[in-house]
Structure formats: structure tokens, C-alpha cells
Chains A and B, each alone.
Chain A
Amino acid sequence: MEIETQHQGAVTVVRPHGPLNADEVEPVREALREAIDTSLGRFVLDAAEISFIDSAGLELLLDTTEQLELRGQTLRLCGANETLREVFDITDVGQHFDLFEDSTTAVRSFL
């Protein structure tokens, strides 16, 4: 799975391409861990190219959220498509992270 990493100012934007399922979760976990470490948690997960998410993917998001919450930060997600938003709604995990329309607004939230 291709994972694009970009910087907008001092914020790292991580953008995985493909479905976030059990097979693809590990490289994303690595990328997120690195982003968090180098940017002191100033990062955004751009979900615009994530087609689908299963329970393994949800677990990754919740693990990341938990990690960030220990230090008063939140997981910022942007560009989630309708499928993802429905999954978040149904499983009620959407309340645990911040959802933004696009990466620019997500990055702006750090100011």
C-alpha cells in the first residue's frame, strides 16, 4: 500500500492509498508512529484515498486515538468518503476523533 507523506507547514499529512483492512494496517501503523514522533503529534490522516475500512482498520484508528489522548491531543482525519463516514456512524467510533472536509482545514486547526 502506497503511503504519501507531505508537509504543510509544521504539520505532517499522511495519506494512505487503498483499503484500510487487516492486510494493510501494519505499514500505516508504522507511518503514523513516525509522523507522531517527528512532529510531536502534529499530524493529519488524510483518508481521501482510503476506499474501505474494516475492524482491523478501526482498531488502528482507536489505538492511535488512545495514544494521542494520553497527551491531550486528538486524531485529526480528513477527506473520509461516504462509506467510511457510515462505518464511523454505525460503530459510533466517529465521536473519538476530529473529522475535517479537507487537509487544509485540518492543518489550520493546529493554529
Chain B
Amino acid sequence: MLAFRLGKERLDRFLPRGESTVASTGLALAILFMVAIGGSVWWNDRAHTRRLETARIDDLKSVAFLLQHSTEALLASDDLSAARRVLVALARQGGLDLATVRLQDGRIFAATDPAAITAAVPPKQWPTGPAPAMTETHVDDRLQMTLPLSVAGHGTASLLIEASTAVEGMPAWPASAGTATIAMGSLMGLLLVYRHARTRLRAMGEIHEGLRAIDHGETALEVLRISDRLGPEAQAWNHLIDEARTLREQEVAEQAHRTLGTELRPERTLSAACDAMPQGLVLIDANMGITYANGASAVFLESPHEQMVGAAASDHLKSEEVLNLVAGVTGEGARRRGTVEIDRRQDDGTVTGVLRFTVRAVGSGAGVAPLVIIDDITQQRTAEDARHAFVAQAAHELRNPLTNIRLSAETVIDAPGNDTTTRSKYLNVVNQEVRRLERVVSEMLSVAEIESGVMRLADDDLPLATMFEELCHDTQPQANAKGTSVHFDMPPKFPKLTGDRDKLMVALHNLVSNALKYTPNGKQVAVTVNVENDHLYVHVRDNGIGISKEDQQRIFEKFYRATDQRVGEITGSGLGLALAREVVHRHGGDITVESKLDQGSTFTLSLPVPKQSG
């Protein structure tokens, strides 16, 4: 068994999975077969030899008896020489090595070897002695027999014969060749059968190994699948494995469901349905008592849910306006509905939300009951406010350039025909203001795109040098108005970048414009551009009002404006930075800020530079 296992392990290294079990069994069978053939050949040979030996002995015995009788007869008729001749002839013919006739006193008077004769002429009366018995002895491959001779008229003598009983077996090489041929033929047959049955046997082998793996604790069932091509057994096995996996997965899912899911099965009642609504519902009776309130209403009114039903409406609906509306629905000359929007305030007065209370009458006549529906419209209000602010800001930003363009155009029209100086001056102004308009419109479009979730970016070569020149030129008017200077520090060479020129210009303009906006008059703004670590960095540094740590986290949020009072005094949409960062992010870069309150801020815009070849 050990040898079998060792052999199998050696085979495992050379054969595909499943084959080793089969191959080792096959090998064992082949060996057994060879042993069987060898064994039967040897046995046959031995049996045959035995038969030949027995036949030989029988032959020798017949010769011995023949010799006995003929010698007795010839000696009885006193024909000694004939007896001697017959002895020699028969011995030779019968294959005896030795035959002697001996008297009781030991004298030999006839023998195959004449030299052995010791009594050339036997006496008339032979010596007497004990009657010789017939004996037969086999020693090694030799037969020795003693036969009694009783000769009438003379007495008794004994005939001794000796012969070899060795026989030649079958001649060696025909037998071996025949055996070898038969053995080879059978082995070929066995191999053919093996090859034919191999796939099926392999399937069984792999299934056997799969079962052993499972017994050893293999849990990843998908590993135990075997190739379908190995036959119907393989397919059935795979089917079993797949079923086991499905059952196991179902079990896991069910268990998870049981542990995690039980709490969430809602009861199917109207009450549960109302609790599932995001709007607050409060049903009030004619005596201004609450008959029903759902979960959301408890949250909006900041009251414990379980205390609401049965309590007076005024205990929980704290707003005068709402209570008036409710009373208005039940009283004389009742209105059927009304709406009021109430700000939800924190203790310090900051507005944290806006709730819309809609009061409707349900039922009629004496059974009229006011129903209060509460909607959280904070997000809508915020979005509306922001949009209004943005539109106002945009309109403001559009009006100025338009005014300037109109004035410039009028000046050019009114100027005398040969006044080229005036014409070029004011045409330049028109050009500048048109660029400004383009920026504002681009920003508005971007906002629309962000809001709708779709921002389309162009991917063209960016003429960075030109862009920064334009930036410098376009920010001059704002800088001049404030008596602030903008200093540009450019690298000797710009890397090759691609992206959306318009949107990036808006982003850059925003940063510089902000720096100017939030810096008191007469100070300085620095724009430094450098290339480092495969990135283009644009640092916009100012020494203006700075940004507090808390605000630094939030200034990139849409519509957020820093809580600093000084910021409130400056017009702004709260969108510039959000937009700028979104655009830069989409280009694979980022905008970060470093700032100290009252000291100034540095905004850093970074864009990745693709690896240049050469």
C-alpha cells in the first residue's frame, strides 16, 4: 500500500489531475498481469517437466522389468552369453547407465560394463541368501532399482539398474518468444482499452480527488468543478457542485436577511403608510386637539412622537401663523386651505431650514377637521436664493460691459473720420469688454452645465503664453480701479497642455479677480507660474483680508460665501471658486488655498503636464 501511495505521489507530478489515480491503478494492473503471465508460464513449464520425468521413470521401470524377465528366461535356459548380450542391448536402448546381475554373495556375472564382471562363469548352484526384495530409490536425478531374479535350476540373484531421470524441459527460446509476444500483445490491448476509457476514467479520478478535497475541508466549491468534456459523469458532478454552491449562497443570504432584515419589515397599516411619507401630517379635531401625527411631523415640529396624539395643537404647532390658519379652517366663514412658510431658527437666530405649512380642511359640516401638511423646502429655497443671487450678479456683470461697449461705440461713431487715435482707443475698449462678456456668459453656461450634471470640456492645445497675456490685460481695469498692481511672474517657456481654453480662462480670471476684490486698495497681487514635478503651478498671492480656517474648508462649495462680514459687503455669486475647482478637477488638476486671516491668501491652481518626448 505504501509503495502504491508513493508511486502515486511520483506520478502526480507528471500527470494531469485525476489521471494519477487511474494511471497508478492501470500500472498495478499491468504489473499483476505480467506476474500472472510469468507465473502461469513457469507453472506450466514445471508441470510439463514433472510429466516428462514421470514418463521417463515409467519407461525406465518398464525397461527394468523387461530386463528382469528376459534375464530370468535366458539364465533359466543357461544361455549366459545371450543373457549378457541382451542386458547390454536393453540397457543401452532403455537409456540405463548401469545394469548388473549379482549373486547373493555379491559376485557380478553380467553387467553393462564388462570390467565390472567378477564371476566370468557363475557356479551351477548359486549361493543362497535372503530373498532379495525389489527396491526403488530416487537420489537427485537418478533412479536405482534392485529387482529379484529367480532362475529355475539355479537360485536367486538380483538385478541392479541405475539411470538418470533428468529431462529437458521445453526448448528455451521458442517458449520465451511465444510468451513475450502474447504478453506484449495483451499489454497493447490493455493500453488501447486504457486510452479509450481514459477520459471516463479521468473523470472518475478527478471526482475521487474532489471528494477527498471536500473531506479535507475544501470550502471553495467552484474549484472542484471538472471539465464537462470528460463525459456524463463529469457533467453530473459539475451539476452537483453548482447546486451545492447555489444552496450555500442562498443560506448565507437568508441568514443575513434574518439577522439584518427582521427589524425592517413594516406593518401594513395606514399608520405605517403615513409614517413612510416624507411630509409631516397632523390631523386636528374641532377642539384644536391632535388626533393623528406621523413620524415626519414629529421631526419637523421637534416634538416627541408619542406625546403628540391627544395633546393640544398649540403645544406642538408653535407658530402663531399656522395656528391661525388652523383655526381659520374650523371657525365661521372658514377658508378651505391656506399656506405659510416658516423659517426654522437656531437659538442664535441663524436660519437652519424653511418649512411650508399647508392647512386644508378635510371633511365638511360638523365633521370638518383641519389637516396640516408640513414640507421641508429648505433645499428648494436655498437653490432658488442662490440662483437669484447668481442671475442678479450676472446681470450686473453683463450690464457694465454692455454700457461700456455702447459708450465706446457712440464715441467712435461721433469721432471725426480722421481721428484714428480715438477710434483705436475705444475699439480696444470694445474688444476688452466683449471678452469680459464672453467670460460672464461662459461662466453662466458652466453653472447651467454643473447644475444639470453635464459639463462638456473642449480638448484643444492651450496657448498658455497668450492666455496669461490676456489675463494680465483683462485684469488691469479692475486693478487700476483699486489702485492695486498685479504682478506676473512667468517661466521662460510654457509646457504643451491641452484642455478647454475658455473655461480655464474663467477659472484663472476668477482667482485673480477674487484676489483683487478681497484686497484693500493700494496693495499688490502676485501671479507666479512655474513648472515642477510634471505639473504646472499657478500661484495667486494677495495680502488682503484672508480666509479663516473654518471658511477655508467651505469656500469651494457652490453658493457659499465666507461668513466674514467684509465679504458680505462685496458682491459675489459664491460660484466662482466652485466652478473654477470643478473645471480644474476635470482637467486632472486641483485648486488649493493657504491663508491667514487679515494677512492674505495664496490660491494655487495645478494642472498635470503630460510627459513630453524629446
> Using a CB–CB distance below 8 Å, which chain A residues touch chain B?
6-11, 38-42, 58-59, 62, 65-66, 69-73, 90-93, 96, 104-105, 107-108, 110-111
Assess whether A58 is in contact with B379, with CB atoms less than 8 Å apart: no
> Using a CB–CB distance below 8 Å, which chain B residues touch chain A?
252-253, 256-257, 260-261, 263-264, 266, 275-279, 294-296, 298-300, 305, 344, 352-353, 376, 378-383, 386, 450, 453, 553-554, 557-560
Assess whether A71 is in contact with B278, with CB atoms less than 8 Å apart: yes
Assess whether A72 is in contact with B559, with CB atoms less than 8 Å apart: no
Residues of A within 8 A of B279 (CB): 72
Assess whether B453 is in contact with A108, with CB atoms less than 8 Å apart: yes
Assess whether A71 is in contact with B558, with CB atoms less than 8 Å apart: no
- Interface SS of chain B: helix, strand, loop or mixed? helix
Assess whether A111 is in contact with B261, with CB atoms less than 8 Å apart: no
The count of A-to-B residue pairs whose CB atoms sit within 8 angstroms is 92
Residues of A within 8 A of B295 (CB): 70-72
A40-B376, A91-B256 known; A104 and B453 CB under 8 Å? yes
Assess whether B559 is in contact with A9, with CB atoms less than 8 Å apart: yes
Assess whether A7 is in contact with B299, with CB atoms less than 8 Å apart: no
Residues of B within 8 A of A96 (CB): 264
Assess whether B298 is in contact with A40, with CB atoms less than 8 Å apart: no
Residues of A within 8 A of B298 (CB): 71
Residues of B within 8 A of A59 (CB): 260
Assess whether A65 is in contact with B453, with CB atoms less than 8 Å apart: no
A41-B299, A72-B294 known; A66 and B376 CB under 8 Å? no
Residues of B within 8 A of A72 (CB): 275-279, 294-296
Residues of B within 8 A of A105 (CB): 453
Closest to B281 in A: A72
A42-B379, A72-B275, A73-B296 known; A7 and B253 CB under 8 Å? no
A9-B382, A10-B353, A110-B379 known; A91 and B276 CB under 8 Å? no
Closest to B560 in A: A7
Residues of A within 8 A of B379 (CB): 9-11, 42, 107, 110-111
Q: A62–B261 Cα gap in the complex (Å)? A: 9
A71-B278, A91-B256 known; A111 and B560 CB under 8 Å? no
CB distance from A84 to the nearest CB of B (A): 15
Most chain B CB atoms below 10 A, which of A39, A41, A42, A72: A72
Q: A79–B294 Cα gap in the complex (Å)? A: 32
Residues of B within 8 A of A107 (CB): 379
Closest to B452 in A: A108
A40-B300, A104-B450 known; A93 and B277 CB under 8 Å? no
Assess whether A10 is in contact with B256, with CB atoms less than 8 Å apart: no
Residues of B within 8 A of A71 (CB): 275, 278, 294-296, 298-299
A62-B263, A104-B450 known; A10 and B276 CB under 8 Å? no
A66-B264, A72-B296 known; A6 and B257 CB under 8 Å? no
Closest to B273 in A: A72
Q: Could you list some 14 contacts between A and B, CB below 8 A?
A: A9-B379, A9-B382, A9-B383, A39-B353, A40-B353, A62-B264, A71-B278, A72-B278, A72-B279, A96-B264, A104-B453, A107-B379, A108-B453, A111-B383
